[in-house]
């Protein structure tokens, strides 16, 4: 069963999170993308995927309260992982 993380303006399926980079007062959440782009010419080529990245900061100039709320939601979710 999928768990969801509800932030201010987005709901994230936790099964789609590939990695989270943790920095001081900031998280970069990398999501899986099922689309693959690339090309092949004879035996050589390239395959790429576009990663969706959501950054959650503890402090931002415009809306400190809302950003702190998202930051603490994500922090609580990370602390709940065993």
Please give, one letter per residue, the 3-state secondary structure of 37-73.
Answer: EEEEECCEEEEEECCEEEEEECCCCCCHHHHHHHHHH
Q: What is the pTM of this model?
A: 0.70
Give the pLDDT confidence of 30-56 residue by residue, as tens digits.
988 877 778 888 888 888 777 788 888
pLDDT greater than 90 at residue 21? yes
Give the pLDDT confidence of 60-80 residue by residue, as tens digits.
656 555 568 888 999 999 998
């Amino acid at each position: 069963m999928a768990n969801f993380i509800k932030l201010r303006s987005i709901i994230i399926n936790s099964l789609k999170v590939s990695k989270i980079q943790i920095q001081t007062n900031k998280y970069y959440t990398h999501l899986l993308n099922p689309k693959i782009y690339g090309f092949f010419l004879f035996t050589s080529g390239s395959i790429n995927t576009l990663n969706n990245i959501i950054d959650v900061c503890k402090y931002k100039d415009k809306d400190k309260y809302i950003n702190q709320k998202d930051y603490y939601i994500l922090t609580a979710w990370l602390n709940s992982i065993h």
